[in-house]
Structure 1
Amino acid sequence: MVMGLVMIKNEDQGYEILASARTEHRQRAMYDGQVHDVEEVARAVIRVKEILEKKLNVPLKQVAVAAAGRALRTEVAVAEHKELLPVRWEREDVLALEMEAVHLALRQLKTSADDASQSYHCVGYNPIARWNEGEEISSLIGQRGKVAKVSVIATFLPRTVVDGLVAVLSRVGLEMTSLTLEPIAAGQAAIPVNMRRLNLALVDIGAGTADIALTRNGSFFAYGMVPMAGDAVTEEICAHYLLDFKVGEKVKRDLNTKAELNFKDFLGAKVVVKKEEVIKIIQSVVGKIAENISGEIMNLNNEVPQAVILIGGGSLTPMLSEMLAETLGIPQNRVGIQVRERLSEIYGEKSIKGPESITPIGIGIAALEGSGLQYYTVRVNGARVSIFELQLATVAEALLAAGILPRSFFGKLGTALTFEWNHEMRVIKGTMGSAAQLLVNDKPSKLDQALKVGDDIVFVPGEPGEDAQVCFKDILPPAESKWIVWNGNQKEFSPQVFVNQELACETDEILDGYKITYLPNDNLENLCNQMGYDLQKKEIEIYINGEKQIFKLTHELLVNGCGVDSSHIVRAGDSIEVRLRQITVGELKLEAKPITFSVNGMHLEYPPQEKIILFHGRPILEDQPLIDGMDLRVEGYKKMPILTDLLPYVKFPDELLPGASLKLSVNGIPAEFTTVLHPGDRILATFE
């Protein structure tokens, strides 16, 4: 059914209905509040429009409508923007970030929706929180940082719902100026403001859905929906008696006025049936509707409400109010049907009455009070875009509604180039992208400019910035080559650049992630590195009499004959000598060790007679440089001593007995003066 009202507001008496009209669809054209057959719905609307125009004798151009309460969706989303270096967040940056959050909310909605292909209109959004560098802040505008983040709550309606309504209205020459939701509209009319302090449940039972609104403490605080209503009852009757849907609707309505029902089934057979029999057939489906509505009320309210108010044509379904009272566990008199006749502030034409008139009256009240979503159209690049003014619509919101992504509001920053320079991280930024060009009615505009009906927007996306691109010669410090003399040879001393340890040319391009080593032609250390001369101290390992010793060799640095260190600045024409300072055998100051013997039980050290240094068994001179791994032996004798060589070191008694003779032994064996000795020998020399 399509119903139309023309209403005005009278400050003294309330709301006056100037004219009303209603008509039935010739066939089922809407399901669950969604237009499925645009032409059929348009035919019904134009009949209502023509009746109203005839009654009032004025043309009708604008209309306020309501969408099913189940259609509204809300999502919370967070968007973040990062910069390599701190920047100042301007109004345009913040607005673009908010638009990005709305776009993310839309993507979340599509992901969570039952039908992923469903498209939605954003009908408004509000920022919830803002952060700069991780700290929550009341406003980002004018703040400075590298990371900005916003959280928004965005409200959406399915695009098919709105587009279906708009398509129908455009067919009949009507412009939609206000859109409200059915449960909101119904609440405007069915429950006076002074009754909303009670905990009441308003249930608008239509054809495909039962919309629920709950009041408490002076306002509506929750909305819900059950996807089952009057059409389910009609379909049960049609299935049982094999009826066309339109005939089934008539049978359902006649249950409230006739005791005996007469109709023909789809095959033309005449059927006469008692009212009680049909009620028995629909009892189970009515019980299911009551059970679903009660469950949703308890889910939203968390307790049994004080009363339930039914409106809509489906509220007249037999047994529904009784079953609702039973499932909720409240008295029967606490479940009632609200009708136009009991609305004290509504007067005027009397032909519109009953519970089905409450929602249309509520739509009129919402439009007159300006509480609906104000709807108008603008043009974006020549295409018509629908705008819902939950808040003052801006150019940014129009672009979002037109499907233009927020990232195109500003040209993307060119990709930065990051590399290591002598172990220090360096970044070269890409160029800034150009901002999008915006014209509203051929005049330059900004994203936050408010729109009005019929505005024409031209949007040219921002151009991305250029990626960072640089060659070595662009960043090398200014330096000139120097000609010097290196160890007697003339050489050119120039700066050098290495990439990943490979020599690079100054005309080469620097790529992202390069590890660059730059050697300037300044001091002696860099010159040695270029010439492949390692100035690190060199260790050599030698053995002296089998004992390992380590020595560190240093370098001699001479510039123009003068000794210098590695930090000495090299100038053009300098004569440079660099060599490893050798250590000679003589610098070790090696000494031969004495040979030890035991003489008459006393320890005796026989001193070396000379110093002989051997390498590979051959004597070497003291000016011989040390060689890594050299094995030296130091000896103090050309040949081992004989027994007579030790006698001067033996202490004998001061007085000897007459006729005493010298007795000699080595290691207990009798010996002669010429017996050759060896280290550690035990010698006895006594007189007998």
Structure 2
Amino acid sequence: MEPIFALDIGTRTVVGLLMQKNGDGYEIMASARTEHRQRAMYDGQVHDVEEGAQAVRLIKTEVEQKIGYSLTRVAVAAAGRALKTLVASAARQETLPVRWEKEDVLALEMEAVEHALRELAVTAGDAAVSYHCVGYSVIDSWLENQQIANLIGQRGREAKVTVIATFLPRLVIDGLVAVLNRVGLEMASLTLEPIAASHAAIPANMRRHNLALVDIGAGTADIALTKNGSFFAYGMVPMAGDEVTEGICGHYLLDFQVGEKIKRELAHKSQVTFKDFFGTKISVDRDEILNIIRPVVQKLAEQIADSIFDLNQGVPQAVILIGGGSLTPLLPQLLAERLGLPPGRVGIQVRERITGVLGEKGVKGPEGITPIGIGISALEAQGLHYYSVTVNQVQVPIFELQLATVAESLLAAGIQPRSFIGRPGRALTYEFNGEMRVVKGSLGQPAQLTVNGRNARLEETIEPGDQVQFIPGTDGEDAKVRVMDILVLPEGKKITWNGQEEAFCPLLTLDGKESLATDEVKDGSKLIYIGNEDLEALFRQKGLPFNLFATLNLKINGRSLSLTKKRTIKVNGKIVTGNCPIADGDQLEIEETPILVKELELEAAPLIFHVNGQELKYPPQGLYVSWRGREVALEDPVVDGMDLRVEGFKTMPILSELLPLVTLPQQAPASRLVLTVNGQDAEFTTKLHPGDRITVTWG
């Protein structure tokens, strides 16, 4: 196996080493370390590409001088800034029992990571295409529904794995790629710093314990948790050693580099001497500086401890610190206090205690853990293999785990899927004589796509170095339709209707208004068309029911009544009993046998009065029929819609006209007739109204 160049680009320092795998473990063939001249990284994100490239160039040159040949490919790791972590599973079932080899298990793991990607797409929406999968770990494995430590070499029909996959924004990865490209390096493998560090810091046989690994750099503190033999959760705190340095600089008004030097000297000096911004020489006891930085370190310890507790849902058995920031004074003690762990359960792991890593000793202390882990991840093919293609003259990073087709390379380039294929134009829906109709828009034009100059398809596999040219598809036109596109209007006709000549033309209304053939039909429009082809259409245009009987609806004193009268239809003198064509010049006669008012057998109702407590019916004095305030003769025909009022009196009677129908009480001597209407004194000429209460007595 070829050696791997591993590079740890940190916020403060850059460490590089060349590693190879041998029979005893791993060997470091060469290493180098440097610091950024200025702050090129913030919270694990490249902010100054040129400054970051300068540090990487120094490392590359030094390692090349030691080994005697040029380096072109490199394995790197990304910090946990903006990290997204998802858990997903994948299962596969075979018809017959098979032996699950390494390739089969790897394919199953890749499928589980793809499921995590789809879940990320659900939660992040369109932003999901801006994320790269930067690593994963297997949490659990099952064979035939039984949990098993390792599937490789096992035999069975059904296998399942659950992975925890981690994703980083493209911005983080693109920053790393930009730095590497500046110095002529190609990214060969990428993983996440806590994943890489875990391979070096915690042996596999220790991962059955519930441990927390914290990689504390200058800008971020990355966290990884183990339990039951695997890593099951990752997290990140956007605070680390630089916060402590800035606390010293702010208190004494120092340049950042001076503050960083003071922080490092606290580990082995009881008194520190330095010059402030104005050149004043200052000597300070170590304890004084510790009191100054204690609040910042306390805050860092609290954030790390709280994140560990949230990820682990409890306190772990121990915490292992790595990275240059782990040497921050007071941090292990304060972290142990915050978690409630004994001081001996929070410790710093250093390169010197790692077994199985031989060779050059230039990489030392807790800072050497992560670059060694990056090398191990790459040598064991546990990182993500990376290559690049060009899309429309722009280099695009491709991770074999995530992207393999032309379509996916377009996604990686930030091209939206909706531009891959032109969308059809919007359809138009309208209603024609009560029937819903749909007119489709025109089809869109597909995108023009070539790979290395030849026509290609979206599903084709993409290869390293391929040149992709993409012209977006064009959308189709929205549906448009005019009345003339729906129907052809026939010519008008001249007919004679009951002796009157009139035009018989097609009747067309659009959304309730008379329409022309050139009018445009809008989405949701209602089009009503009545032709001029036959007798039925003629009756519909006139609003008449097409049958041999006419229905008359009327009211008599408010009571509804329906009558039917016979209708005779003649076309050109011939009686027709059904629908028939109507030609230009046809003569139509419609004869209806009228119903006379007298045939309604109308009767007037008597007037009801109450005389001396007894009901009295005053008989009608005739039959009087009126409509709309005018008198109707009994010989008049009934007209549809009549509201007839039938009465037996032209005027209301007076009291004297009622008295002949009243049985008077026996007359008393020397008495006179006393009359009242509704309790009021009345005369013989008092006008009465139906329902009046009348008394007639002698008084």
168, 177, 201: which one aligns with 1:166: 177
486, 510, 516: which one aligns with 1:499: 510
Report the Cα offset of residue 591 of structure 1. Answer: 11
Once residues 243 and 497 of structure 2 are traced to their aligned partners in structure 1, the CA distance between those partners, rounded to angstroms, is: 102
Report the AA paired with residue 361 of structure 1. Answer: I
Change (3 A) 1:99 1:187: closer
Report the AA paired with residue 59 of structure 2. Answer: V
Change (3 A) 1:371 1:540: same
Once residues 330 and 591 of structure 1 are traced to their aligned partners in structure 2, the CA distance between those partners, rounded to angstroms, is: 109
Q: SS of the counterpart of 1:71?
A: coil
Once residues 632 and 269 of structure 2 are traced to their aligned partners in structure 1, the CA distance between those partners, rounded to angstroms, is: 139
Alignment of 1:426-575 (within 5 A): 426-476=437-487, 484-489=495-500, 493-531=504-542, 537-540=551-554, 551=563, 553=565, 555-565=567-577, 567-572=578-583, 574-575=586-587
Report the Cα offset of residue 516 of structure 1. Answer: 1.1
In structure 1, the gaps of 5 or more residues are 77-97, 111-118, 127-152, 594-611, 636-688
Partner residue in 2 for 1:304: 315
Show CA shifts across 1:450-484 (max 9, x none).
22211111112112112222222332278676665
Given the alignment of the two structures, is residue 319 of structure 1 paired with residue 333 of structure 2, yes or no? no
Say if 2:86 and 2:165, in contact at 8 Å, map to a contact too: yes
276, 283, 288: which one aligns with 2:299: 288
Change (3 A) 1:445 1:550: closer
Report the AA paired with residue 283 of structure 2. Answer: V
Partner residue in 2 for 1:227: 238
What CA RMSD, in Å, does the superposition of the two structures yield over aligned residues? 3.8
Report the Cα offset of residue 75 of structure 1. Answer: 8.8
Report the AA paired with residue 252 of structure 1. Answer: K
Change (3 A) 1:425 1:306: same
Report the Cα offset of residue 401 of structure 1. Answer: 2.6
Say if 2:552 and 2:562, in contact at 8 Å, map to a contact too: no
404, 411, 415: which one aligns with 2:426: 415
264, 272, 295: which one aligns with 2:275: 264
Give the percent of matched residue pairs that are identical in Structure 1 and Structure 2.
Answer: 56
Report the AA paired with residue 68 of structure 2. Answer: N
Report the AA paired with residue 8 of structure 1. Answer: Q
Partner residue in 2 for 1:364: 375
Change (3 A) 1:524 1:251: same
Report the Cα offset of residue 629 of structure 1. Answer: 6.3
Once residues 637 and 540 of structure 2 are traced to their aligned partners in structure 1, the CA distance between those partners, rounded to angstroms, is: 26
Given the alignment of the two structures, is residue 397 of structure 1 paired with residue 392 of structure 2, yes or no? no
Once residues 499 and 324 of structure 1 are traced to their aligned partners in structure 2, the CA distance between those partners, rounded to angstroms, is: 78
Change (3 A) 1:555 1:125: farther
- Between 1:479-488 and 1:271-280, the stretch displaced more is 479-488
Partner residue in 2 for 1:63: 74
- Between 1:250-259 and 1:221-230, the stretch displaced more is 250-259
Report the Cα offset of residue 53 of structure 1. Answer: 0.6
Once residues 181 and 513 of structure 1 are traced to their aligned partners in structure 2, the CA distance between those partners, rounded to angstroms, is: 55
Show CA shifts across 1:96-155 (max 9, x none).
xx9999878656759xxxxxxxx94445999xxxxxxxxxxxxxxxxxxxxxxxxxx997
Partner residue in 2 for 1:576: 588
Q: SS of the counterpart of 1:537?
A: strand
Say if 1:472 and 1:506, in contact at 8 Å, map to a contact too: yes
Partner residue in 1 for 2:219: 208
Change (3 A) 1:515 1:402: same
Task: State TM-score, norm by structure 2.
Answer: 0.71
Q: SS of the counterpart of 2:386?
A: strand
Once residues 125 and 189 of structure 1 are traced to their aligned partners in structure 2, the CA distance between those partners, rounded to angstroms, is: 16
Q: SS of the counterpart of 1:517?
A: strand
Partner residue in 1 for 2:186: 175
Once residues 410 and 522 of structure 2 are traced to their aligned partners in structure 1, the CA distance between those partners, rounded to angstroms, is: 38
309, 334, 348: which one aligns with 1:337: 348
Report the Cα offset of residue 259 of structure 1. Answer: 3.4
Change (3 A) 1:621 1:105: closer
Report the Cα offset of residue 562 of structure 1. Answer: 4.7
Change (3 A) 1:321 1:488: same
Change (3 A) 1:590 1:393: closer
Change (3 A) 1:255 1:583: same
Report the AA paired with residue 363 of structure 2. Answer: I
Partner residue in 2 for 1:32: 43
Partner residue in 2 for 1:8: 20
Task: State TM-score, norm by structure 1.
Answer: 0.72
Report the Cα offset of residue 621 of structure 1. Answer: 9.6
Change (3 A) 1:294 1:46: same
Once residues 547 and 305 of structure 1 are traced to their aligned partners in structure 2, the CA distance between those partners, rounded to angstroms, is: 90
Change (3 A) 1:207 1:48: same
Once residues 506 and 191 of structure 2 are traced to their aligned partners in structure 1, the CA distance between those partners, rounded to angstroms, is: 75
Once residues 184 and 592 of structure 1 are traced to their aligned partners in structure 2, the CA distance between those partners, rounded to angstroms, is: 105
Once residues 131 and 366 of structure 2 are traced to their aligned partners in structure 1, the CA distance between those partners, rounded to angstroms, is: 31
Say if 2:135 and 2:384, in contact at 8 Å, map to a contact too: no
Report the Cα offset of residue 4 of structure 1. Answer: 0.6
Report the Cα offset of residue 158 of structure 1. Answer: 3.2
Given the alignment of the two structures, is residue 241 of structure 1 paired with residue 255 of structure 2, yes or no? no
Show CA shifts across 1:463-511 (max 9, x none).
2112222222332278676665432456564543221333322333322
Say if 1:540 and 1:553, in contact at 8 Å, map to a contact too: no
Say if 2:224 and 2:231, in contact at 8 Å, map to a contact too: yes
Alignment of 1:609-624 (within 5 A): none
Report the AA paired with residue 2 of structure 1. Answer: V
Change (3 A) 1:123 1:250: same
Q: SS of the counterpart of 1:183?
A: helix
Say if 1:485 and 1:575, in contact at 8 Å, map to a contact too: yes
Report the Cα offset of residue 439 of structure 1. Answer: 1.2
Report the AA paired with residue 201 of structure 2. Answer: A
> Based on CA coordinates, which of the two structures has the bigger radius of gyration?
1
Report the AA paired with residue 370 of structure 1. Answer: A
Say if 2:495 and 2:587, in contact at 8 Å, map to a contact too: yes
Show CA shifts across 1:393-426 (max 9, x none).
3222222232222211121211211111112222
Report the Cα offset of residue 520 of structure 1. Answer: 3.0
Say if 2:603 and 2:646, in contact at 8 Å, map to a contact too: no
Once residues 385 and 502 of structure 1 are traced to their aligned partners in structure 2, the CA distance between those partners, rounded to angstroms, is: 59
Q: SS of the counterpart of 2:209?
A: coil
Report the AA paired with residue 537 of structure 1. Answer: T
Report the Cα offset of residue 201 of structure 1. Answer: 0.3
Partner residue in 2 for 1:604: none
Report the Cα offset of residue 217 of structure 1. Answer: 1.3
Report the AA paired with residue 552 of structure 2. Answer: K
Change (3 A) 1:235 1:622: closer
Partner residue in 1 for 2:53: 42
Report the AA paired with residue 249 of structure 1. Answer: E
Report the Cα offset of residue 519 of structure 1. Answer: 1.3
- Between 1:524-533 and 1:422-431, the stretch displaced more is 524-533
422, 432, 435: which one aligns with 1:424: 435
Once residues 370 and 207 of structure 1 are traced to their aligned partners in structure 2, the CA distance between those partners, rounded to angstroms, is: 28
Once residues 550 and 459 of structure 1 are traced to their aligned partners in structure 2, the CA distance between those partners, rounded to angstroms, is: 75
Once residues 274 and 646 of structure 2 are traced to their aligned partners in structure 1, the CA distance between those partners, rounded to angstroms, is: 130
Q: SS of the counterpart of 2:236?
A: strand
